[in-house]
Amino acid sequence: MSTVEFDSVGEWNAQVPLLIIGAGAAGLCAALAAKEAGVDAVVIERDGVPGGSTALSAGLIPAADTRFQRAKGVVDSPDRLAADIQRKAHGEAPAALLETIARGSAPLIEWLAERHSLTFELIQNFNYPGHSALRMHGLPSRTGRELVDRLRNAAELSEIVVLTGCIAQTLFAQKDGHVGGIEIVRGDGSRERIGCNAVILACNGYGGNPELIRRFIPEMANALYFGHPGNRGDAILWGERLDAAVACLGAYQGHGSVATPHNILISWAVIMQGGIQVNCEGRRFCNETHGYSEQAAEVLRQPGGFAWDVFDGRIAGVARQFEDFREAERAGAILSFDSVAGLAEAMRVPVADFVTDWNEVDMLKRAGGKDRYGRKFCPEHVCRPPYHAVKVTGALFHTQGGLAVDSSGRVKRKDGTRFPNLFAAGGAAASVSGSTAAGYLSGNGLLTATVLGKLAGTAAAQQLAS
């Protein structure tokens, strides 16, 4: 049970300048940045092999005005990225933090590419809802596992110590919030106290803590949690005890397209390229292109709590760049038929109702029209045989609320002042996604994890050096 002990520090088993809790994207970027600024961090990670939610993700990071975009003739700017994020967040993203993160996005990608040899590519054959430019950068496998493995490799080459199999449990602080160190618990139950001069919380949010989900996000209390189970809300629990400012605790990234019962992510590319969702009655139920995050609750509201993604062979070709989609095909999750009626029968939905909705969408595509939900269609997205369908449900991916931080990741007190030596980044910090699931723009998760992780690592190191 994570807790804070005030003014009760005994002997330290070791003393280090900077402790980072969590070895996902945020923690590893923070450690690399601190090292570059001349400070050796020790990273504490509960798992035997670092992965976190980062490893479960598609590893796609949005960044504006990168050399990868310029090489492909894509015109973009940090202001444009910030405007897209703010539009999706309904104006609720903290402006200064958002601006810093948007400005830091291209330097982050280029830093990881040039200094740490991460081989990013610009995703060019589809775009996510709400992004006004092609700006998703991914590694060749399009997996977060590759991203976190490459970051871990970079940390090893930089001789950064990652203590795996250790859970940070107790945080020792003085009454003014100055953190003196932490107690870790190893797999064999042994405990050690490590003193430090600064701490960066990079242990993500509370998606893996059902009690906190019931408390802050009741609409997803019974939903499948698709993130890392070890993210149990320790940053929030410590923050509450320290009387830190928290923000947007009801916000989260959901996803309305997780193959069921296989539990495999089906890329939203299937929708953005012209696919639709229907419920068990064979009927469409909303504009699917608002965003995959809010679509999670929308799908869960359908009879039986599931839907079908329906698309064609061309769209499957686009989705196949994702290992997850290929895995879903190998698992037999994707139905294939040459006729729409045959597909409907295999889906066990009323054939006539499904064909009616399908034909209506087909006509709208050919005419470049808009449907009753406000979704706009285009002729390039007309579907042709073979037709495919996959049964999906809505899932909780990760929480977006967290500790309120400034533009260098410093944790704020409730009165707006900063804690002297406490930082947070990634899912541990409040994001730029506003207060609901609908405020999440695709990529906000890794954008804030990597950019804020780097900024927090640099700021902590500079503070220690001064």
Ligand X SMILES: Cc1cc2nc3c(=O)[nH]c(=O)nc-3n(C[C@H](O)[C@H](O)[C@H](O)COP(=O)(O)OP(=O)(O)OC[C@H]3O[C@@H](n4cnc5c(N)ncnc54)[C@H](O)[C@@H]3O)c2cc1C
Judged by CB under 6 A, the stretch of 48-56, 93-101, 309-317, 405-413 that binds ligand X is: 48-56
At residue 275, φ and ψ (nearest 5 deg) are -75, 165
Q: How far apart, in whole angstroms, are the C-alpha atoms of residue 366 and residue 320? A: 25
Q: Which of 228, 290, 388, 391 binds ligand X (CB under 6 A)?
A: 228
Please report whether residue 451 would count as binding ligand X according to CB under 6 A.
no
Rule CB under 6 A: choose which of 4, 19, 23, 41 binds ligand X: 23
178, 434 contact by CB (below 8 A)? no
Least gap, CB of 444 to ligand X (angstroms): 6
Binding mask 163-202 for ligand X (x = CB under 6 A): ----xx---------------------------------x
Segment near ligand X (CB under 6 A), from 226-234, 290-298, 355-363, 405-413? 226-234
Tell me which stretch binds ligand X (CB under 6 A): 12-20, 297-305, 352-360, 443-451: 443-451
Alpha helices, H only, 192-246: 210-216, 234-242
C-alpha distance from residue 225 to each of 153, 229, 247, 269, 400 (Å): 28, 8, 21, 21, 14
Neighbours of 325 (CB within 10 A): 24
Asked if 265 interacts with ligand X (CB under 6 A), we say: yes
Residue from the set 34, 39, 42, 54 that interacts with ligand X by CB under 6 A? 54
Among 170, 204, 257, 463, binds ligand X (CB under 6 A): 204
Question: How are beta strands 161-163 and 41-44 bridged, if at all?
Answer: parallel
| Token pair of 258 as six digits | 């997780």
C-alpha 78/C-alpha 102 separation (Å) is 5
Please report how close the Cβ of residue 56 comes to ligand X at its closest, in angstroms. 4
Interface pattern 399-438 for ligand X (x via CB under 6 A): ---------------------------xx-----------
Cα 118 from Cα 333, distance rounded (Å): 32
Q: Amino acid identity, residue 18? A: L
Half-sphere exposure for 114 (CA within 13 Å, toward CB): 9
Pick 23 or 247: Cβ nearer ligand X: 23
- CA atoms of 6 and 141, how far apart (whole Å): 46
The nearer residue to ligand X, 57 or 279, going by C-beta atoms, is 57
Tokens standing for residue 163: 């203590």
Nearest distance, CB of residue 251 and ligand X, angstroms = 12
Find out whether 59 and 28 touch, Cβ atoms under 8 Å.
no
Asked if 57 is part of the footprint of ligand X (rule: CB under 6 A), the reply reads: yes
Cα–Cα distance between 166 and 9 in angstroms, integer?
20
Asked if 204 and 52 count as a contact pair (C-beta separation under 8 A), the reply is: yes
Give the x-and-dash track for 137-166 against ligand X (CB under 6 A): -------x----------------------
Q: Establish if 274 lies at the interface with ligand X (CB under 6 A).
A: no
Applying CB under 6 A, among 180, 256, 291, 445 the residue interacting with ligand X is: 445
Q: Which stretch binds ligand X (CB under 6 A): 53-61, 188-196, 306-314, 377-385?
A: 53-61
CB of 447 to ligand X, least distance (A): 6
d(CA 308, CA 299): 9
CA atoms within 13 A on the CB side of 369: 10
Q: Which is nearer to ligand X, 55 or 347 (CB)?
A: 55
- Which span (79-87, 225-233, 297-305, 350-358) binds ligand X, by CB under 6 A? 225-233
* Of 190-198, 228-236, 355-363, 401-409: span binding ligand X (CB under 6 A): 228-236
Q: How far apart are CA 315 and CA 53, in angstroms?
A: 27
Coil, strand or helix at 75? coil
93 sits near ligand X (criterion: CB under 6 A) = no
Nearer to ligand X, 50 or 275 (CB): 50
Q: Is 222 left (phi over 0), alpha (psi -120 to 50) or beta?
A: alpha
Residue 88: phi, psi to the nearest 5?
-70, -35
Structure tokens at 426: 């990634």
Q: Which of 4, 41, 53, 93 binds ligand X (CB under 6 A)?
A: 53
Contact pattern from residue 233 through residue 252 relative to ligand X, giving x for each residue in contact according to CB under 6 A and a dash for the rest: -x------------------
Q: Would you state the structure tokens that stand for residue 347, as one six-digit string?
A: 């889906």
Binding site for ligand X (CB under 6 A): 21-27, 44-47, 50-54, 56-60, 144, 167-168, 202-204, 226-228, 230-231, 234, 253, 265, 397-398, 426-427, 443, 445-447, 449
